[in-house]
Amino acid sequence: MKMRYLTAGESHGKAITTILEGIPANLEISKEDIDRELARRQGGYGRGGRMKIETDQANVLSGIRGGKTLGSPITLQIENRDWINWEEVMDPFGDSGYSQEELVIKKETKIKHVKPKVTKPRPGHADLAGSLKYNHEDIRNILERASARETAMRVAVGAIAKTFLKNFGIEVAGHVLQVGTVALDKKLDMELEELKVKSEGSPLRCVDEETTKEMIKEIDRCKEAGDSLGGIFEIRTTNLPVGLGSHVQWDRKLDARLTMALMSIQAIKGVEVGLGMEAGKRWGSKVHDEIFYDDKFYRTTNNAGGIEGGMTNGEPIILRAAMKPIPTLYQPLSSVDLETKEKFKASVERSDVTAVPAASVVGEAVVAFELAKTFLEKFGGDSMEEIKANYENYLAMVKER
């Protein structure tokens, strides 16, 4: 049974939807668990006006009954509360709002909306490439789907994957290491639980209070200048069994699968596993994690980031992802109008200054999904009971070695 999902929906359309297939029967799910993850993604210092409008919640349309999965496809929907302000513009069978010449100001939110037709491509966004590729004159037809609004659904799916993994004691946690040039320079020497508590307590999902303060100052400075910021986040796991993923085929290698999952998040431009780029600089003796045995195999270092030969080696997985600065700048960059071909500097209605904390929550979700999928490939069954039996059998087998 293959776990898979697709998302659909535009950023200012009515809703974002998914069909998630391959979740086994009898997995206990709570709506609160999904909604808590959605709220975590909405937070973070540096987010723009849109997050004040949205209160993301998952509407379950199929696949769960009485708090337990049925084994059938799970359909989820997240409403876009901002849609009421875009109803005419986004109407599937309307005139796309082209008759609406003036700015629309809705009393409820006091959000100003620009003219319906967008012809000014933003450097760094999908605007230009998408409009040329899909032959659209209105950039809105591209930006609506390119938008990271879609990541709300990836987090909802990830919440279900996390719940599944928790049944086997597996946890996934993300935290922010860097915003712009402000980086956490202390060595991280803490258990996953402590890391979760500390990052949860920070508006930037950074485990260190002093660094968080510096990051906030940097974001304020950047906002003042009308600019934007990126950064780096890290994802860690705990309690993974040895042997998820495989060395035998390129598309079964777990490091390849996890890095693709992270790379697929909007604005992520670099991903590292374990030492990552640093491994290219060091001598082998300073990279490879020596193997020891005391009732079980273990390591005293984890430079590999928990993966060797495309398989988990029993150590925690450690991944890092770099996010570029948000493309929409209040102090805009030069670009060329699609229609007039004239140079312009666009004005901006609203945007995030940075969204690294939100991206770290999305990172957790996509990693959790990929891990749950790989786990099911190895221990798969149609019910949780069947999978647990398979898992225990494997653990006993590994223990005997």
Is residue 265 near ligand FMN by the rule CB under 6 A?
Answer: yes
123 is in an annotated binding site: no
Task: Pick the binder of ligand EPS from 106, 213, 324, 350 (CB under 6 A).
Answer: 350
Q: By C-beta, is 148 or 317 nearer to ligand FMN?
A: 148
**3-class DSSP assignment, residue 283:** coil
The half-sphere exposure of 115 on its side-chain side, counting CA atoms within 13 A, is 12
Q: By C-beta, is 85 or 313 nearer to ligand EPS?
A: 85
Instruction: Return all residues near 247 (Cβ < 8 A) that are at least 6 apart.
Output: 253, 309, 310, 311
Residue 238 · residue 316 · CB < 8 Å: yes
Is residue 11 near ligand EPS by the rule CB under 6 A?
Answer: yes
Q: By C-beta, is 11 or 360 nearer to ligand EPS?
A: 11
Q: Which of residues 23-82 bind ligand EPS (CB under 6 A)?
A: 48, 50, 54
Q: Which of residues 300-339 bind ligand FMN (CB under 6 A)?
A: 324, 326-328
DSSP string, 338-389: TTT--EEE---S---S--HHHHHHHHHHHHHHHHHHHHHHHH--SBHHHHHH
Partner interacting with residue 152 (select from ligand EPS, ligand FMN, none; CB below 5-8 Å by kind): ligand EPS
- Distances in Å between the alpha carbon of 143 and those of 9, 53, 362? 12, 19, 19
Partner interacting with residue 338 (select from ligand EPS, ligand FMN, none; CB below 5-8 Å by kind): none
Is residue 125 near ligand FMN by the rule CB under 6 A?
Answer: yes
Is residue 40 near ligand FMN by the rule CB under 6 A?
Answer: no
Partner interacting with residue 20 (select from ligand FMN, ligand EPS, none; CB below 5-8 Å by kind): none
Partner interacting with residue 149 (select from ligand FMN, ligand EPS, none; CB below 5-8 Å by kind): ligand EPS
Binding segment (CB under 6 A) for ligand FMN, from list 31-39, 122-130, 182-190, 311-319? 122-130
Partner interacting with residue 265 (select from ligand FMN, ligand EPS, none; CB below 5-8 Å by kind): ligand FMN
Q: Which of residues 260-289 bind ligand EPS (CB under 6 A)?
A: 266
Q: Which of 151, 149, 125 is closest to 51 using CA atoms?
A: 149
Is residue 18 near ligand EPS by the rule CB under 6 A?
Answer: no
Q: What is the CA radius of gyration of the chain?
A: 23
Tell me the three-class secondary structure of 30-55, residue by residue: CHHHHHHHHHHHHCCCCCCCHHHHCC
What separation, in Å, do the N-terminal and C-terminal C-alpha atoms of the chain show? 29
What is the rounded CA–CA span in Å between residue 164 and residue 187? 31
User: Total residues contacting ligand EPS (rule CB under 6 A)?
Assistant: 11
Instruction: Return all residues near 344 (Cβ < 8 A) that are at least 6 apart.
Output: 120, 334, 335, 336, 337
Shortest distance, CB of residue 91 to ligand FMN, whole angstroms? 24
What is the rounded CA–CA span in Å between residue 392 and residue 394? 5
- Distances in Å between the alpha carbon of 53 and those of 59, 255, 328? 18, 37, 19
Shortest distance, CB of residue 41 to ligand FMN, whole angstroms? 7
| Binding residues for ligand EPS (CB under 6 A) | 11, 48, 50, 54, 147-149, 152, 266, 350, 352
Interacting residues toward ligand FMN by CB under 6 A: 48, 124-126, 146-148, 151, 265-267, 324, 326-328, 351-352, 355, 358-359, 362
Bind-site residues for NADP(+): 41, 47
